[in-house]
Amino acid sequence: MDLFRPDKYYKSIYDVNYIDLKNNGIKCILFDLDNTLVPPNENKPNKKIHDLIDNLKELDFKIIIMSNSPKKRLAPFKDELVIDCSAFSLKPLKKKFNKILKEYKFDLSQIVIIGDQLLTDVFGGNRIGIMTILVNPISKKDFKITSINRRFEHFIETKLEKRNLFKRGKYYE
Ligand SMILES: [Mg+2]
């Protein structure tokens, strides 16, 4: 059950304390795309995302979008934001995490994943042993597979809450 608990929990990607991450040795940020950076129905980055990514680049973070969505969906983000992307990531499986670790040569302690799902982003990140940050989903709309995941997520949240490990809306860092 502890593998579903995020290390930190913020309201949104704009609330994350990136300076703190930097000071704690984080060098690479894996961002989930859908409902973390943009709602599932937005097909390219908006100005707010552009500004955030620019700021993070200035802080010298390596930014990678790690998404279970296909390459086609990620392409406009990769091109416009000039960042790397890992499509079809099959989170929470370890394969793509391992591929990224190998390709970019970061230590586990230097990477964080930021996403909106306990079942994919947080569970996947915790399994591999990197820092995990949960944010609330941007919109109530989900892809079909995600809405199935959400039911399990609700079940897990109830369990975590019973053990005082996590409560929706109770942010911590
Ligand atoms: Mg997501």
Maximum separation of any 2 CA atoms in the chain, in Å? 44
For position 123, what pLDDT does the model report?
97
> Looking at the predicted structure, is the pLDDT value of residue 144 above 90?
no
Homologous superfamily of 2-162 in CATH? HAD superfamily/HAD-like (3.40.50.1000)
> What distance in angstroms lies between residue 123's CA and the mean position of ligand 1's atoms?
13
Q: Give the DSSP H or E segment for 51.
A: helix 47-58
> What distance in angstroms lies between residue 45's CA and the mean position of ligand 1's atoms?
15
pLDDT digits (tens, 9 = 90+) for 79-98: 999 999 999 999 999 999 99
**SS3 label, residue 54:** helix
> What distance in angstroms lies between residue 32's CA and the mean position of ligand 1's atoms?
6
> What distance in angstroms lies between residue 43's CA and the mean position of ligand 1's atoms?
14
pLDDT digits (tens, 9 = 90+) for 29-50: 999 999 999 999 999 999 999 9
pLDDT digits (tens, 9 = 90+) for 107-136: 999 999 999 999 999 999 999 999 999 999
Neighbouring C-beta atoms of residue 103, cutoff 10 Å: 11
DSSP 110: G
> Looking at the predicted structure, is the pLDDT value of residue 146 above 90?
no
- Cα distances (angstroms) measured from residue 10 to each of 43, 78, 93, 135, 148: 24, 25, 24, 5, 23
> What distance in angstroms lies between residue 160's CA and the mean position of ligand 1's atoms?
20
Domain boundaries, the chain: 2-162
For position 129, what pLDDT does the model report?
97
> Looking at the predicted structure, is the pLDDT value of residue 1 above 80?
no
